[in-house]
Structure 1
Amino acid sequence: MQQEPQQPQNPQKVQQKKPRIQTSADENEIVFKPLTETDKKPEAASRKGTASKEEVATKKVVTTKKAVTTKKEKGNHSERYMALKSNIAYDAAGLPNLAFEMQFSKHISVELPVICSFWDISQKHAVRTVAIQPEGRWWLKQLGAGHFFGVHAHVAWFNVKWQKDRYQNTDRPLLGAGVSYGYLLPLSKHWGAEFSLGAGYAHIKYNTYYNIDNGAQIGTETRNYWGITRVGLSLSYRF
Structure 2
Amino acid sequence: MMKHIYIFAMTMMLIASSGTVKAQDVALKTNLLGWATTSLNAGVEIGTAEKQTVQLFATINPWKFSGDKKVRFWNVEPEYRWWTCQRFGGSFFGLHALAGEYNIKNVDLPFGTLPKTKRGRHYEGWYIGAGVTYGYQWLLSRHWNLEASLGVGYAYSPYKLYGRCARCLDKNHRNYVGPTKAALSMIYIF
Superposed pair shares fold, TM > 0.5: yes
Moved over 3 A (4+): 77-80
Deviation at 1:105, TM superposition (A): 1.1
Provide the rounded CA distance (Å) in 1 between the counterparts of 2:22 and 2:29: 16
Larger helix fraction of residues: 1
Q: CA RMSD in A?
A: 1.4
Q: Does 1:152 align with 2:108?
A: no
Cα-to-partner distance string for 1:120-159 (whole Å, 9 max, x where unaligned):
0125210111110111000111111100000000001111
Considering only CA atoms, is the larger Rg found in Structure 1 or Structure 2?
A: 1
Greater Cα offset, 174-183 or 159-168: 159-168
Provide the rounded CA distance (Å) in 2 between the counterparts of 1:132 and 1:220: 24
Q: Name the SS of the counterpart of 1:91 in structure 2.
A: helix
Residue in 1 that maps onto 2:65: 121
Task: Summarize the alignment of residues 14-53 of structure 1 with structure 2, pairs less than 5 Å apart.
Answer: none
Q: Name the SS of the counterpart of 2:35 in structure 1.
A: helix
Letter in 2 for 1:179: V
Alignment equivalent of 2:78, drawn from 134, 144, 161: 134
CA contact (8 A) 2:24 2:189 kept: no
Unaligned stretches of 5+ in structure 2? Answer: 1-20, 107-118
Provide the rounded CA distance (Å) in 2 between the counterparts of 1:140 and 1:199: 20
Letter in 2 for 1:99: G
Deviation at 1:109, TM superposition (A): 0.5
Provide the rounded CA distance (Å) in 1 between the counterparts of 2:121 and 2:66: 14
Q: Does 1:165 align with 2:121?
A: yes
Alignment equivalent of 1:101, drawn from 45, 52, 57: 45
Provide the rounded CA distance (Å) in 2 between the counterparts of 1:141 and 1:80: 14
Provide the rounded CA distance (Å) in 2 between the counterparts of 1:166 and 1:227: 22
Residue in 2 that maps onto 1:216: 167
Residue in 1 that maps onto 2:4: none
Alignment equivalent of 1:178, drawn from 110, 116, 131: 131
Deviation at 1:80, TM superposition (A): 4.9
Aligned length: 158
Provide the rounded CA distance (Å) in 2 between the counterparts of 1:205 and 1:137: 29
TM-score, length-scaled by structure 2: 0.80
Cα-to-partner distance string for 1:151-179 (whole Å, 9 max, x where unaligned):
0000011111123211001xxx3010000
Unaligned stretches of 5+ in structure 1? Answer: 1-76
Provide the rounded CA distance (Å) in 2 between the counterparts of 1:186 and 1:121: 37
% same residue: 36
Provide the rounded CA distance (Å) in 1 between the counterparts of 2:158 and 2:122: 13
Larger strand fraction of residues: 2
Higher relative contact order (CA 8 A, sep 6+): 2
